[in-house]
């Protein structure tokens, strides 16, 4: 029997189904969930391997992208160049 997407066991202690958990993925990644929402999401993830795998994937994606992008080589004399330009602007 195929269950509707948003169906959940009527006696389920978890008011979050998969759709509700995934709707909060962006806010979870940006650490914007309220403590209550975060707890509800984490309770759902504890019993749902499919959502856990999606959350883990997106969390790693964001973390890896940040790690790589903060490794962009900065020209060694950038600060000197900018400070020199500021000194010249102030002198003129």
Nearer to other proteins, 12 or 62 (CB): 62
Site string for other proteins, 36-65 (x = CB under 8 A): -----------------xx-xxx-xxx-xx
Region near other proteins per CB under 8 A, out of 1-9, 12-20, 39-47, 81-89:
81-89
CA-to-CA separations, 62 to 65, 67, 73, in angstroms, rounded: 5, 9, 20
Name the CA radius of gyration of the chain, rounded. Answer: 23
**Which sign does the torsion angle of CA 17, 27, 38, 43 carry?**
positive
- Whether 21 contacts 45, CB under 8 Å: yes
Q: Is 82 in the site for other proteins (CB under 8 A)?
A: yes
CB of 5 to other proteins, least distance (A): 14
Nearer to other proteins, 37 or 58 (CB): 58
């Amino acid at each position: 029997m195929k269950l509707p997407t948003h169906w959940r066991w009527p006696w389920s202690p978890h008011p979050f189904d998969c759709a509700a958990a995934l709707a909060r993925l962006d806010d979870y990644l940006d650490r914007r969930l309220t403590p209550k929402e975060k707890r509800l999401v984490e309770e759902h993830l504890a019993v749902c391997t499919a959502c856990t795998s999606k959350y883990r994937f997106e969390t790693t994606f964001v973390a890896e992208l940040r790690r790589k992008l903060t490794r962009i080589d900065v020209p060694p004399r950038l600060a000197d160049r900018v400070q020199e330009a500021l000194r010249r602007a102030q002198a003129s």
